[in-house]
Structure 1
Amino acid sequence: MNDSYTKRQIREITGRYGLIPVRSEPVSSLYRRNAVFKVHTQSGTYAVKPFLRQPSLGSSAVHQIGTTAKYVKLLADSGFSHMPKWLTTRSGKLWTLSHGRPFYMTTWISGRGMEKPEDFEQLGRALATLHLTPGLGLRTKGSPTLEQIRLWQVKDQLFRKRMAQALQPGGRNRRWLKKYGKTCTRLSDRAWAILKSPELVGLLKREWSRPALIHNDITSPNVIISGENQLFIIDWDHIKVGSAYVDIAKALMNTTQFNPDFILALLKGYEEVNPLERAQRKLIYCLYGLPREAWQAIRSPKGKRSQEMLRILEQTWPLRLDAMKLLADWSNQ
């Protein structure tokens, strides 16, 4: 869908929430133009955000925003304090439809990024609180972690096929794959082997009875420390009932920059709220070690973003291996 929006459209959306904009300005994210609109009103500053449909779910954007709003309300009712306040329209809904696309409106959060271990401890506590949110009606048909693992195993298989093709003379990314490809497959093989251990098989079988709400997109740009030193997580488009272990592993990979102090601080904060058993620690370590960025980059080898991912992978490879060793030691404590 076109990401161009007129000021009139943003003004109309803001009006549905009972507010009159003084001015508005588009704000782009790393990968998306006009990702959100910063709207200034006489009563404060707010964010108007176009809701991003997930094509992989197969359902409509309206259905998805309805589910998202249900989970956001559940969080708000439980007193979760690490999410911007979602505004309610004049008709009592947490979202509105404009030109066929859902939008939602929240308070605007200003602040800084995470810079010190204490910030990562806050993030760990916030994630644990999110994962422990009580909610009637949260159900899964099976283990959400096992479901995600099966999807990743398919991506791993595709990576191996593409790697075999790319290693032929003239293949795209041949140099990178000759240097790192076998290590990627060894990391995957190690994770798949550990996941077959009886303690992890038993853990995954029990997971369906402990559903968790997850943010599903914890990245550095989505975490803000306010002027009052309060941590806020923004961009809740992908919230769902899913795997807390996947959520933690992704958060570690996407926020800590492989810094040992940041990694341990996030895990310390998490376990202050939700202590982890040895099997749970081992599962997080396994999921963290999977070379997901390499799978994604090789999937579209000609894309500019893929080339950037491979460049970052090469630059950070030693740090990644050190971080995996740190998590391996942590999982055995």
Structure 2
Amino acid sequence: MTHRTLKTRYRLLARRYGLQIKRIIPYDSLYKRNAAYRAITDRGDFLIKPFCRSRVLGQRTARQQIERISSHIRTLQKAGYPHLPKWLTTSSGRYWTFYQGKPYYMTEWIKGRELQNDAQDYDNLGKALAGLHNVCQNTRLPMARFTLKEVGILKRRDALFRRQLVRFNRRLGRWFRKHGAECIVLADEAWRIMEAPKVQRLLQKEHEPPALIHGDVTVPNVIIRPDGLFLIDWDRVRRGSIYLEIARTLLNTALFEPLYMEAMLRGYEQFKPLLPEERLLISAFFRLPGEAWLSANRIAFGRSRYVNHVLKKTWGRRLSAVGWMDRWARATTAPDVSGRDTLKGAEINEEGEPTAI
């Protein structure tokens, strides 16, 4: 698409929001080129983004998905959630608009710095996440047990990984021959934690009430301004498992550093204290070797010849972080954040709790 055609498209879209574009600047995401656009207009800077249908939002059409997302955004704005960019509405009052069969939306442009290696940043991130998880939608629809559904998906990925592990040849399977057994031990321990009676009781009652999750809290999606921390890219907002989101946020942002992990969890619990069984469930999700599963899958299907370099570089720190999470899950106060102890393995007692070796 030529720059002139691109500018014409976004000029027409901006008019539906009552804006006139002076300049349009494309921005890439981690996964896609030109994933979003910065629109410099007569009323300031805004983000214009084409919405792409996502499998994580189910089998709905793109229109149905953007309508559902708009409903969640409206709920957050009515609740006064402060970490959400302002979404613009068209003249018809909708958050989104169609152009040539594709949905688009506009929000304010959030200008600030990225998440830094600073405990206060992670404390604020934990508070922002807890505030989101405290916003519940009133609905008459029967709610699924979101975490149980996610556990089923993760168990299938683990089973696929174990089959792939057997088939890897010597050249492709070097890293997996060295660390594959550790991956299996970590997964087995996670499943045993989840099977503990008190964790099972938690999972069975999770759907009352349903909570909203962001769905993609990563370093690029956290922006900090002098007036506070903002989460951007809400394309995957939905009702879902807060426990899996906490674990994934730690994995995606905290660099396996206990200092930052402790700060994020401390900030979270200032707004939303966690029960002992909730801590156990989060620690179980954290120990699952999802990056190893993904690398194995890409290699098995010919999409890569190599293990993800981040996985290789951080594996030792990851095992240390798993050990720290085990201690956090058992503790009534935060454990030591030195991170000196590397997990060599763990025993899971009959209550599903990890015990140190």
Cα deviation, residue 143, structure 1: 1.6
Secondary structure at the aligned position of 1:146 is classed as helix
Cα contact 1:139–1:241 (8 A) shared by 2: no
- What amino acid maps onto 2:280 in structure 1? K
- What amino acid maps onto 1:129 in structure 2? G
Cα contact 1:109–1:224 (8 A) shared by 2: yes
Match of 1:149 among 133, 151, 154: 151
Cα contact 2:213–2:242 (8 A) shared by 1: yes
Which stretch has the larger CA shift, 140-149 or 282-291?
Answer: 140-149
Cα deviation, residue 138, structure 1: 7.1
Cα deviation, residue 229, structure 1: 4.5
CA distance in 2 between partners of 1:163 and 1:212 (Å): 36
- Is 1:158 the counterpart of 2:160 in the alignment? yes
Structure 1 stretches of 4+ moved >3 Å: 138-142
Secondary structure at the aligned position of 1:97 is classed as strand
CA distance in 2 between partners of 1:139 and 1:280 (Å): 25
- What amino acid maps onto 1:136 in structure 2? N
- What amino acid maps onto 2:35 in structure 1? A
Q: What whole-Å deviation, never above 9, does each CA across 1:78-118 have from its counterpart, x for those lacking one?
A: 00010100000111100011121111100000111111111
- Is 1:6 the counterpart of 2:17 in the alignment? no
- What amino acid maps onto 1:254 in structure 2? N
- Is 1:41 the counterpart of 2:41 in the alignment? yes
Match of 1:239 among 224, 229, 237: 237
Secondary structure at the aligned position of 2:89 is classed as coil
CA distance in 1 between partners of 2:153 and 2:141 (Å): 20
- What amino acid maps onto 1:79 in structure 2? G
CA distance in 2 between partners of 1:138 and 1:80 (Å): 23
Secondary structure at the aligned position of 1:303 is classed as coil
- What amino acid maps onto 1:225 in structure 2? I
CA distance in 2 between partners of 1:93 and 1:40 (Å): 21
- What amino acid maps onto 2:129 in structure 1? L
Q: 2:354 matched to which residue of 1?
A: none
- What amino acid maps onto 2:152 in structure 1? R
CA distance in 2 between partners of 1:284 and 1:179 (Å): 27
Q: How many residues align?
A: 326
CA distance in 2 between partners of 1:311 and 1:179 (Å): 15
Secondary structure at the aligned position of 1:53 is classed as coil
Q: 2:113 matched to which residue of 1?
A: 112
Q: 1:82 matched to which residue of 2?
A: 83
Q: 2:343 matched to which residue of 1?
A: none
- What amino acid maps onto 2:113 in structure 1? R
Q: 2:341 matched to which residue of 1?
A: none
Q: 2:282 matched to which residue of 1?
A: 284
Task: Say if 1:7 and 1:138 are closer, same or farther in 2 by CA, change over 3 A.
Answer: farther
Cα contact 1:16–1:90 (8 A) shared by 2: yes
TM-score using structure 2 length: 0.88
Cα contact 1:26–1:36 (8 A) shared by 2: yes
Q: What whole-Å deviation, never above 9, does each CA across 1:294-320 have from its counterpart, x for those lacking one?
A: 11121121335x84x621111001110
Q: 1:100 matched to which residue of 2?
A: 101
Secondary structure at the aligned position of 2:46 is classed as strand
How much is the aligned-residue C-alpha RMSD, in angstroms? Answer: 1.7
Secondary structure at the aligned position of 2:40 is classed as strand
Cα deviation, residue 260, structure 1: 1.2
The 5 Å alignment of 1:163-182 reads 163-166=165-168, 168-169=169-170, 173-182=172-181
Cα deviation, residue 259, structure 1: 1.4
CA distance in 1 between partners of 2:269 and 2:37 (Å): 36
Identity over aligned pairs, percent: 38
Match of 1:312 among 301, 310, 313: 310
Cα deviation, residue 210, structure 1: 2.5
TM-score using structure 1 length: 0.94
Cα contact 1:113–1:220 (8 A) shared by 2: yes
Cα contact 2:143–2:210 (8 A) shared by 1: no
Q: What whole-Å deviation, never above 9, does each CA across 1:206-244 have from its counterpart, x for those lacking one?
A: 111121100011000000001x15100000000000000
Q: 1:124 matched to which residue of 2?
A: 126
Which stretch has the larger CA shift, 136-145 or 251-260?
Answer: 136-145
Secondary structure at the aligned position of 1:90 is classed as coil
Cα deviation, residue 7, structure 1: 1.3
Cα contact 1:140–1:211 (8 A) shared by 2: no
Q: 1:205 matched to which residue of 2?
A: 204
CA distance in 1 between partners of 2:52 and 2:319 (Å): 34
Q: 2:218 matched to which residue of 1?
A: 219
Cα contact 1:114–1:223 (8 A) shared by 2: yes
Please state which structure has a larger fraction of its residues in helix. 1
CA distance in 2 between partners of 1:103 and 1:79 (Å): 24
Task: Say if 1:14 and 1:215 are closer, same or farther in 2 by CA, change over 3 A.
Answer: same
CA distance in 2 between partners of 1:72 and 1:229 (Å): 21
Cα contact 2:136–2:212 (8 A) shared by 1: no
Q: 1:135 matched to which residue of 2?
A: 137
- What amino acid maps onto 1:154 in structure 2? R
- What amino acid maps onto 1:17 in structure 2? Y
